[in-house]
Amino acid sequence: MSTDVLSVRKRQEGLQFVNGLESDSDSDVEMSNDEKTESTREAQDGTIVTPGELVTDDPVWMRGHGTYFLENQTYASVAGTVSRVNRLLSVIPLRGRYAPETGDHVIGRIAEVGNRRWKVDIGAKQHAVLMLGSVNLPGGVLRRKSESDELQMRSFLKEGDLLNAEVQSLFQDGSASLHTRSLKYGKLRNGVFLQVPSPLVVRSKNHTHNLPGNVTIILGVNGFIWLRKTSEVDTANNTSTVMGKNAAALSGSKGDYKPGTNSVSITRLEEESSWEIYSDKNDHISDSMKKTITRYSNVIKALAHCEIGITEARVVAAYEASMAYSHAGSLIDKDNMEAIGQDVINAEKMRGNA
Amino acid sequence: MVLSITEKLYLHESLASKPPARPDGRNADQFRPIEIFTDFLPTSNGSSKIVASDGTECIVSIKCKVVDRAVEEELVVVDVDIAGHRDDSTLVQGIASILNRLLVSQMDQMSLRLTKKYSFKLFIDVLVLSSYSHPLTLISLAIYSALNSTQLPTLISSDDDLDVAELPTFHDYDMSKLNVKVPLLFTLAICGKNVIVDPAASESDVANNGVLVTWNDGKVVAPVRTLGLNEDYVRGICPQSLVDSIRMVEELAPKILKALDN
Amino acid sequence: MSRLEIYSPEGLRVDGRRWNELRRLDCSINTHANASDGSSYLEQGNNKIITLVNGPQEPKLRSQTNVNKATLSVAVNITRFSKVERSKSSHRNERRVLEMQTALVRTFEKNLLLHLYPRTQIDIQIHVLQQDGGLMGSLINGITLALIDAGIAMYDYISGVSIGLYDTTPLLDLNTVEESAMSSVTLGVMGKTEKLSLLLVEDKIPLDRMESVLAIGIAGAHRIRELMDKELRKHGERRFANISS
């Protein structure tokens, strides 16, 4: 069947939302006198609680997020699951914006250029702050700040620019302070941006992965993702652990360890801290590379649609599963997205049992 | 949508290449999937809701009123409300004006006629809940679906009422389907020499220009005009692109209509 | 032509309900995941309401920033096609709507733990697609659901309902016909308690009848809370099952 130019899903008679407006009774609601007696037991771990519900009346617990207390009673303030870790009792909401933690590797977009600092949108409740002193300035990593730097801030990073950074610390109100004081952080180029719900990106040791096909992915913990052509720095920091059947054929490295491969020379430091790191120019990217990036972008969106957690292994698995569709543009169809999601889950289950 | 300079360069280069490489891999003439709901407002004669895959959502309601043709000038009125935009903003006013003029000129007055004296007047209310790209095409698809599922009261009184004082009377519960040809509006983006249909927000931001092409009753009709999609990348439009746009719509529209009518 | 009897001698109302029966209530949450941080769709009788919550997020205007807590705003869009007769003019800047918005902000400001989100803005956007009486009560219910969906901390549910007084008989959950025929009261009730977050009385009510009106209103609101809670738990269990798999 030729590619549909337009795929339409029609529903008639009612705004049936995905959850389904299942009315148990079509008739009006009666005032029943026999209401269920309220459970006086404590809500168990992992059960759903809703706002105003009593979680425990034991005063020994420390109250964490998602709760409030009156006298000795602890109540839930959000709808979510109860979590009891050590002596900390909290309710994890089912949904919520990204909440930064120190050490998180995130991607952000410059929202404002201010007085010796930038405000960065990382999809949290507040913009994060990137201080002028927390970035690498051209001319050498150790250069002291001077007055002219502040005025030239826009020549480094301006509104709309994307960068990856690490959360250095948190302010009292939970908002983040970022830094890019490492060569693996900084302005992003040579690629495309996409966004997935932040809970789908799990915190791990490394968030930059080299994927088969010479594409590098940065999985921001905040759900912001960058896909780009693998750069020299990426190849030097090669941390790919992918075992896919295409991986060996497509990726450049042969996997042999050579002494000094992962270190960066002093002269490289000087180079990298030049104006190049703030350049707004892209390298030349071939058409086939762009196609690869597009395909990765679509499969990641498919994983997000199926609410599957995004990891390097799953992205590669989804990419391989997507090769069944020669036209990458057909991956935007809901049914195809769900099929790929299923394939990835099934492959994992089988591997788990093997 | 805010994009960085490197993103825009990457996108523009991809879209201007031959063939255009769209960020989601679509063909130049491929639409994104949509969902359409109809008949969910019992107090309106027709209703439709359309949701696009990027979250753009539009609700249309059609209500009718019996009016005296000698007194009433226009038999179709379109009112547009885009959440987050003021009623007097250029975007809202522009869209309302295009829709009003189009529907008033293209819709067959006879299909609304009741008697020698009276006609139905249609009030088309458009509510855009969220919009990430130019909403005109989506609004037009929603209006199409709503009008094609509109039910109007069935007339039972006589057709010849020029001397009669009373208003027309209607059947208590029987309704008749409104039978009318509804025009469709297509927005296309021009990138370099390429023409692409249903531009996403990121594509609109780097397009060199936009074109609006109208389709009704099996052919391209007026208005055909340029549309401003962004401010940074605008270049003049060359005649060949206009011709390409029209040709693309001629190929595409019958397929779109078939998908909508099934 | 028979006149519609507001309350027949047999105890039936115009739509066949008894004095203490609520209209059909259907609700869904997370209906507009792309366009908002929290959303709900509510049908109470013939009221059809979409509620979208955005936030807590960075304030759009520097002047709105409160260093101690979040700033809450409510915008109600009553569409022109929401009633049987289409409205002549837009309701956007109508006094009545502005007052509704203020009352809703005041109601929820006390219920949300706004001090947990300083320097942020929480925007609530409501679209009324259809209305048939008891609108304020339905708005409250829609907002409660959408705020819970957004994960914004609150002390308890607030459920809204309207009660009318027909001569000496209280009638629960009024529709348009009933609202225009008698005095009415709207309540916003906190959770399972008898505490009121909102008491809205715009007509004359004899004081000695007030207690019976409040009693049935609070009971009705509790029942509404139960229905909303049931839907929330169902949704929560479904999501929890999805995430664990």
What's the pLDDT at B262? 79
Contact (Cβ atoms closer than 8 angstroms) between residue A19 and residue C242: no
By residue count, chain B amounts to: 262
**Any CB–CB contact under 8 A between A77 and chain C?**
yes
Report, as an integer, the average pLDDT of C39-68. Answer: 94
Chain B, chain C: beta-carbon pairs less than 8 Å apart: 57
Assign C1 a pLDDT band (cuts: 50, 70, 90): very low
Report, as an integer, the average pLDDT of C113-137. Answer: 97
Sheet hosting strand B184-191, strand order edge to edge: B194-197, B184-191, B209-216, B219-227
Give the A window 106-145 contacts with C, CB below 8 Å: 111, 119, 121, 125-127
| For residue B153, cis peptide bond before it (omega within 30 degrees of 0) | no
CB contact under 8 A, B63 and C81: yes
Nearest chain A residue (CA) to C192: A52
Superfamily of domain A96-188: Nucleic acid-binding proteins (2.40.50.140)
Average pLDDT, chain C: 94
What's the pLDDT at A22? 39
**Any CB–CB contact under 8 A between C154 and chain A?**
yes
**Any CB–CB contact under 8 A between B15 and chain A?**
no
- How many Å apart are CA A333 and CA A52, to the nearest integer? 41
What ranges do the domains of chain C cover? 7-244
What's the pLDDT at A237? 73
- How many Å apart are CA A23 and CA A26, to the nearest integer? 6
CB contact under 8 A, C80 and B43: no
C25-29 vs C38-44, strand pairing mode = antiparallel
Structure confidence by residue, pLDDT tens digits, A120-178 = 999 999 999 999 889 987 765 445 556 566 668 888 899 999 999 999 999 999 999 99
CATH hierarchy code of domain B33-181: 3.30.230.70
- How many Å apart are CA A155 and CA A151, to the nearest integer? 9
What's the pLDDT at A271? 54
Dihedral sign, Cα of residue A95, residue B132, residue C105, residue C224: negative
What's the pLDDT at A238? 65
CB contact under 8 A, A31 and C20: yes
Query: Coil, strand or helix: which one is B181?
Result: coil
Chains touching A (3+ CB pairs < 8 Å): B, C
Query: Coil, strand or helix: which one is A148?
Result: helix
Query: How many angstroms separate the CA of residue A298 from the nearest CA in chain B?
Result: 6
Amino acid at B204: S
**Any CB–CB contact under 8 A between B12 and chain A?**
no
Nearest to C128 by CA among C137, C119, C117, C116: C137
Contact (Cβ atoms closer than 8 angstroms) between residue B83 and residue B128: yes
Structure confidence by residue, pLDDT tens digits, B126-165 = 999 998 889 999 999 999 999 999 999 999 888 888 887 8
**Any CB–CB contact under 8 A between C30 and chain B?**
no
Query: Coil, strand or helix: which one is C108?
Result: helix
Burial class (CB in 10 A: 0-12, 13-18, 19+), B135: buried
CATH hierarchy code of domain B1-30+183-261: 3.30.230.70
Q: Which stretches of chain B are DSSP H helices?
A: 5-16, 90-106, 136-147, 201-205, 239-261
What's the pLDDT at A243? 44
What's the pLDDT at A241? 46
**Any CB–CB contact under 8 A between A28 and chain C?**
yes
Is A354 a residue whose pLDDT tops 60? no
Structure confidence by residue, pLDDT tens digits, B19-51 = 999 999 999 999 999 999 999 999 999 999 999
**Any CB–CB contact under 8 A between A189 and chain B?**
yes
Report, as an integer, the average pLDDT of B85-108. Answer: 92
Nearest-CB residue to B43 (from C36, C50, C84): C84
Residue ranges of E strands in chain A = 8-12, 48-49, 54-56, 62-63, 67-70, 73-76, 80-85, 88-93, 105-113, 117-121, 128-131, 162-170, 176-179, 186-187, 191-195, 208-211, 215-219, 224-229
Instruction: Say which CATH class A47-93 falls into.
Output: mainly beta
- How many Å apart are CA C136 and CA C101, to the nearest integer? 10
Chains touching B (3+ CB pairs < 8 Å): A, C
Dihedral sign, Cα of residue C206, residue C209, residue C214, residue C216: negative
**Any CB–CB contact under 8 A between A15 and chain C?**
yes
Q: Which stretches of A87-206 are DSSP H helices?
A: 147-151, 153-156
What ranges do the domains of chain A cover? 47-93, 96-188, 189-237+284-353
Dihedral sign, Cα of residue A27, residue A31, residue A34, residue A40: positive
Residue C136: alpha-carbon gap to chain centroid = 5
Contact (Cβ atoms closer than 8 angstroms) between residue B37 and residue A14: yes
Fold of C7-244: Ribosomal Protein S5; domain 2 (3.30.230)
- How many Å apart are CA B210 and CA B204, to the nearest integer? 8
Assign B73 a pLDDT band (cuts: 50, 70, 90): confident
Report, as an integer, the average pLDDT of B251-260. Answer: 92
Task: Give CATH 3.30.230.70 domain extents, chain B.
Answer: 1-30+183-261, 33-181
Query: How many angstroms separate the CA of residue A316 from the nearest CA in chain B?
Result: 18
- Best probe of the C interface among B2, B129, B138, by most C CBs < 10 A, is B129
Nearest-CB residue to B14 (from A3, A290, A332): A290
What's the pLDDT at A149? 61
What's the pLDDT at A24? 40
Contacts of C30 in chain A (CB under 8 A): 19, 95
Report, as an integer, the average pLDDT of C86-92. Answer: 91
Contacts of B137 (CB under 8 A, 6+ apart): B185, B186, B187, B198
Query: Which residue pairs from B96-101 have beta carbons closer than 8 angstroms and sit at least 24 positions apart in sequence?
Result: B98/B136, B98/B185, B98/B212, B98/B223, B99/B124, B99/B126, B99/B139, B99/B140, B99/B143, B100/B74, B100/B76, B101/B223
CB contact under 8 A, B63 and C46: no
Structure confidence by residue, pLDDT tens digits, A245-257 = 444 444 444 444 4
CB contact under 8 A, A25 and C24: yes
Query: How many angstroms separate the CA of residue C184 from the nearest CA in chain B?
Result: 24
Structure confidence by residue, pLDDT tens digits, A304-348 = 999 999 999 999 999 999 999 999 999 999 999 999 999 999 998
Structure confidence by residue, pLDDT tens digits, C179-206 = 999 999 999 999 999 999 999 999 999 9
Contacts of A197 (CB under 8 A, 6+ apart): A223, A304, A307
What's the pLDDT at A4? 63
CB contact under 8 A, A280 and B9: yes
Query: How many angstroms separate the CA of residue A171 from the nearest CA in chain B?
Result: 27
**Any CB–CB contact under 8 A between A86 and chain C?**
no
Chain A, chain C: beta-carbon pairs less than 8 Å apart: 137
Structure confidence by residue, pLDDT tens digits, A13-64 = 656 554 333 334 344 555 544 344 344 445 566 789 999 999 999 888 999 9
